[in-house]
Every structure is written in C-alpha cells, then in structure tokens.
Structure 1
Amino acid sequence: MTVLSTPAASAAVEQCRIITRDRARNFYYGLKLLPEPERSALFVIYAWMRTADDLVDDASHPAAETRTRLEALRVATVAACAGQPADDDPIMRALADVATRFDLDVTHFHAMIDGQLADLGQVRYERFDDLRRYCEQVASSVGLACISIWGYQDDRAPRRAVDRGIAFQLTNILRDFAEDFGRGRVYLPREDFDRHGLTPEILNAGSDERIEPFLVEQIDRVESYYRAARDLTTMVTPSCRPTLWAMTEIYQGLLRRMRREPERIVRGPRVRLSALTKSAIALKARWQARADR
C-alpha cells in the first residue's frame, strides 16, 4: 500500500521509495517500520531532501547556477504544497498529496532550502547562535515535518523536535569535520576556536594539546540537545515511535563513539557504527514496532 491511490501517483511514491532504499541505507530499514500511510510519506520527504542535497553537492555547476536551481526547487515545492505540482515531476506529484493529507507547513521546506543556500561557497560561522540557526533550517525543519506526519498529542513536541534536529545536525558536523574542511566548510563557530586559542587549520592538523578539550566541549553541547529532546519519542503516535527511537539511537551511538575516541574526528577513520550495533538497533526497533501494533 502507498499513500497515493491512482496508478500514476502510486508510481511516483514507488520512485521515492527506491530513492530512499538506494540512498538512505540505514534509515530505509527504520522507515519501513512505520505503518502506512506514514511510511510512504517519509519516503517522499526523503526523496525531496535528496533532490535538494544533490543540487548543492554537484560540484560541476557554479554556485550561481546552483542557487538558481534551488530557487526553482522552491517555486516547484510551493506549487506542490498548494496542490498544483508539475505533471512531469513524480517527486512533486507525490509531495502534493503528502502535503495535503498531512497538512504540512510549507515554511519547513522554505527553511530547508534556505539552509542549502547557506552551504554554497565557503562556509564559516562566527557564533554558535548562527550555527544553531543553520541546524534549525536543515534539520529541525525536517523533524517538524516528520512529527506532522507521525502525529503527536503534546504541545511541547515541536520544541522537542527542533532540539532533536539540532542534536542530529551537530552530530553530523562533528563526525564530518575533516571532510567538510577539505571542501572549504567550517561549521564549528569561530568564537569556540578563539576561546581555546585554536583555528580550524590547527584542529585539522590534529596534533595540539588544546584539541581534546575543544572537542569534549563540542560533544558536551550536542549531548545537551539530546537531553533537551529526550521525551520526544513518547510524545509521537505509538506506532511511529520505533522509527524515531532507532534514528536517535544511531545518532547518539555515533556521538558516544566520538566521546570515546575524539581523535577520530580530526584524524580518522570516519566514525561509524559496526554492523553488529546497527543490527541490534534494528532488531530492538522491530520488536518495539510489533509491540505497538
């Protein structure tokens, strides 16, 4: 079963499912735990996000052209959320139905695109407040769209979703520091470097005694956002909780690994969870999903 009923619309959602399966890897199996129509809706949201990400990550186009393409995506997305998708774009056709069925707020998509635009060119943030705003754009907005699809009964859930999104994105930023540095992107704020007498270049070199206290401070801050959002899982519809739990456990597992081995943030290898750990998370999430049905 898919979220859409007509043959053409069902084919559009199936294309989104394939994109999610091929590109989301670990998340695909977590999303499969969702009931319908929430499962297909999340496939559509992921496919839309992948489209935006690919525009920014495509180094073959100059920044000005990428900016134009992102703004065109914005226009198409607004039209889809208003129930007028382009006929030749299956992702937009699927998004139109999802946005209507779950009453999605188009401002979430505006925020995601604004965050993608911020990634064009050389990225440097002066203050943590600036970085937090970026995290809200690219990650918290996704969380808000997700809980709109999953459903929730507690008015505090949107604030918790914002904090969980910030935690996820800060986890990504720490894990990917070396890769992002090589692409001219430094997300960690300059005020933090200044406080420790460091620079991004010194951190990337990875051989200074001031680095470990700096990284511990970063990890502590990320953990504070996980704590702030710790009760979000209990606020969403029970049948959707296993997916949110599994996603959170994966990200927190990465952060715990960085806590144990902070040097890997700058020296590598890139922090990953073992196949055994991911399998254990998946098994527990499946058990939870069966218990909630």
Structure 2
Amino acid sequence: MSGGAIRHGIRPDDLAHCRAVIRTGSLSFHTASRMLPASVRDPALALYAFCRLVDDEVDEGHDKVRAVLALGARLERVYAGAPRDAPEDRAFAAIVAAYRIPRALPEALLEGLAWDAEGRRYGGIGEVRGYSARVASAVGAMMCVLMGVRDRHALARACDLGVAMQLTNIARDVGEDAAAGRIYLPLDWLAEAGLTPEAFLARPEATPDMRALVARLLEEARRLYIRSEAGVPRLPQNARLGIYAARFIYAGIGTELRRQGHDSITRRARTGRMQKLGWLGKSALYAGGSMLLPQPATLYAPPLAETAFLVDAVAERGQASPWWGAGRTGALLETLAALKARDGAAGQQGRRA
C-alpha cells in the first residue's frame, strides 16, 4: 500500500476503480486532478467518484425517486462506518473518517438530487444558485476539507466556484435538458423572453431571446469565477495549480458557448486538448504568482446567501458538537418524506392497475 493510501485509508483497488471512473466519466476533472498533489488527488478522486455515482444513479436511472431514497440509505451507512460493499462507498467512507467531512455537505448534495427527482423548477436566479450550491458547491466545500482548509473566506470563494461551474453546466446543456423534459433556467427569465416552460420544452429553439438568456447565465458565472480566484491563495501551495486548472478549464466551456453564438440547443460546446493545455499554462502562471490576482477585498466578500449554510457547516466555530454534525436538515427530511410518499402512492396505483 502506498504512503498516500495509508494516510487516507482507501484500499488501492478501490482507488484504482475510482480513478478509472473519473477518467471515463469526467474528463475535465480528470485533467485538472492531475495537477493536484497525491495527498489531495487520491481522496479527491474518491470523492468525485462517489459524487459521480450518486449523480448517475439519479440522472440515468428509470426510477429517480427510489434512487434518491436508496442513496440516502447508502449515505447513512457511510456515516455509521458500515458502507455498502462497493468501491465508491468504501472509498468515500474512508475519506469521511480520515478527514472528518461534516455530514451536512454530502446531505446537501443529496437534497439537490432529490430536487432533481421531484422535477423541481426554479423561479429565479437565486433559486438556481440554491440548487447549484447543493449539487456543486457542496463538493467544493468537501474539497476544502480534504485540503485541511476551514477558513471561512476560502470556503466562500470555493462555493462561488462551485456555483459558477454549475451555471456553466446549465448554460451548456439547455438543449439536452429540454430533450429530457428538464429545465433549469430561471422561470422569470423565460417569462421575460415571452416563453412558458411548457412552450419551450415543446419546441426548444435557439432564438435570439434564448441565446440572450444563455449569455446572461454565463455572465452570472463569469462574475463568480472572478470572485473565486481570490480564495485560491488560501489553499495549500501545492494544490493551487489544480484548482486554477479546474476554474479555467470549466470557464473555457463558456468561452466556447460564446464563440458559437450562445446556441446550446442545436450544438454542444466542447473544448479540445490544445485548449486545455493552454489553460493549464495559464493556471501555472497564476499558481506561481506571475499574474496579478483580484483585489484583496474580493476575498472578504460575504458568501452567497445560497451557500452560507455550507460555509457554516465547515468553518471552525469552536463548538463542542460532533464533527459529523446533527445530520439531516428538516428541509431534507421533508423532501425525502415527500419522495417516499410519492413512491408509495405510485406503487399502490400500479398494483391497482
């Protein structure tokens, strides 16, 4: 067993499995992760493999409700120290124990996936940020924990990066989501463009109004990408290159969207190997301090209202409560209970049929 495996407790075969999952399922993260030191990269691969698994279970499964409920049970087993006998679960349980990951973080991710399962739509950009906080910023906060960072300001900027990346995802996938009957765009923005969700889903088109809406979403992401940069110097020196790489590679998707006229309905924005190499070079300049960083005041900007609960869950506050926290929030319990009730009602209806 390698020295890294001893520190984080992940079995070598489980780590190899997680690495393979990320290599095939998330090329952008795999590229950026190669810039991280092994002490951070290995547990990060385990973290992302588990997050990828839970996302795929809900996104690709035939029964999203049961998938979320099953994931809740799996997470319960992880925090009980008895994970399911699967590589991703064992590896995630190992880093939960080794790095004392607050339970509120993976539970926030689960809440976001529960919102997906119930087909929730979002009235305004604040609600979209709230969803992004759960499915993306929660992962960014867990990455900070893996690096030993619990500084409030660094956490707030990491959460900014998570929201920016998710907004980029939403902007890129408008057409694919519509084809699947899903919509993550702010409904009030759609209304301003003279569209109802039903009309758009029935006939998604890259109209000038829709292109303008995508551009507006990317501008929201761009602002947060810039804010996020101020937090990177608060991270360990040997981890900064990888985080800058993730920031620039993901923002590059938005650049491609702009080049194709903000059409994410008839086309999908893709980035090439040479572009990624260019962004890695830029990341190296930033990590080495060869380029000017944003004004220091950016670092101290308060967290987004939608991500403040994640910062609070991680930041050291001198409380005597157990590191894993009190467990599920009332909102998550209510969401899971509603899903369970819906699942039971659907089962009864099926039996009557």
Measured against the shorter chain, the TM-score band is 0.7 to 0.9
Tell whether the 8 Å contact from 2:65 to 2:118 is kept in structure 1 after alignment: no
Tell whether the 8 Å contact from 1:122 to 1:184 is kept in structure 2 after alignment: no
1:74-95, CA deviations, whole angstroms, 9 ceiling, x for partnerless residues? 2222332343323x22222222
Aligned residue for 1:255?
Answer: 254
- Residue identity opposite 2:68 in structure 1: L
Tell whether the 8 Å contact from 1:242 to 1:289 is kept in structure 2 after alignment: yes
Structure 1 length as normaliser, TM-score? 0.86
1:88-111, CA deviations, whole angstroms, 9 ceiling, x for partnerless residues? 222222222211221111111111
Aligned residue for 1:112?
Answer: 109
Query: Gaps (5+ residues) in structure 1?
Result: none
CA spacing shift, 1:2–1:169, aligned 2, 3 Å: farther
1:23-66, CA deviations, whole angstroms, 9 ceiling, x for partnerless residues? 2223213212222321110111111012112211224x23xxx3
CA spacing shift, 1:44–1:181, aligned 2, 3 Å: same
What does 1:1-293 align with in structure 2 at a 5 Å threshold? 1=2, 3-5=4-6, 9-59=11-61, 61-62=62-63, 66-86=64-84, 88-120=85-117, 122-152=119-149, 154-200=151-197, 201=199, 204-207=204-207, 209-268=208-267, 270-283=268-281, 285=283
Question: What SS does the aligned partner of 2:214 have?
Answer: helix
Larger mean Cα displacement after TM superposition, 181-190 or 116-125: 116-125
The CA RMSD measured in Å over matched residues stands at 2.6
CA spacing shift, 1:225–1:290, aligned 2, 3 Å: closer
Larger mean Cα displacement after TM superposition, 104-113 or 22-31: 22-31
Tell whether the 8 Å contact from 2:244 to 2:287 is kept in structure 1 after alignment: no
- Residue identity opposite 2:49 in structure 1: A
Distance in 2, matches of 1:288 and 1:222, equals: 20
Question: What SS does the aligned partner of 1:210 have?
Answer: helix
CA spacing shift, 1:286–1:220, aligned 2, 3 Å: closer
Larger mean Cα displacement after TM superposition, 50-59 or 255-264: 255-264
CA spacing shift, 1:229–1:84, aligned 2, 3 Å: same
Distance in 2, matches of 1:144 and 1:279, equals: 26
Larger mean Cα displacement after TM superposition, 270-279 or 181-190: 270-279
Percent identity of paired positions between Structure 1 and Structure 2 = 27
Count of paired positions: 284
Distance in 2, matches of 1:39 and 1:198, equals: 44
Question: What SS does the aligned partner of 1:205 have?
Answer: coil
TM-aligned CA deviation for residue 285 of structure 1:
5.0
Tell whether the 8 Å contact from 1:3 to 1:98 is kept in structure 2 after alignment: no
TM-aligned CA deviation for residue 173 of structure 1:
0.1
CA spacing shift, 1:245–1:264, aligned 2, 3 Å: same
Identify the structure with bigger relative contact order (alpha carbons < 8 Å, sequence gap 6+).
2
Distance in 2, matches of 1:205 and 1:92, equals: 41
Query: Gaps (5+ residues) in structure 2?
Result: 290-353
Tell whether the 8 Å contact from 1:153 to 1:235 is kept in structure 2 after alignment: no
TM-aligned CA deviation for residue 143 of structure 1:
0.4
TM-aligned CA deviation for residue 140 of structure 1:
0.5
- Residue identity opposite 2:76 in structure 1: V
CA spacing shift, 1:32–1:287, aligned 2, 3 Å: farther
Question: What SS does the aligned partner of 1:266 have?
Answer: coil
CA spacing shift, 1:218–1:28, aligned 2, 3 Å: closer
TM-aligned CA deviation for residue 136 of structure 1:
0.6
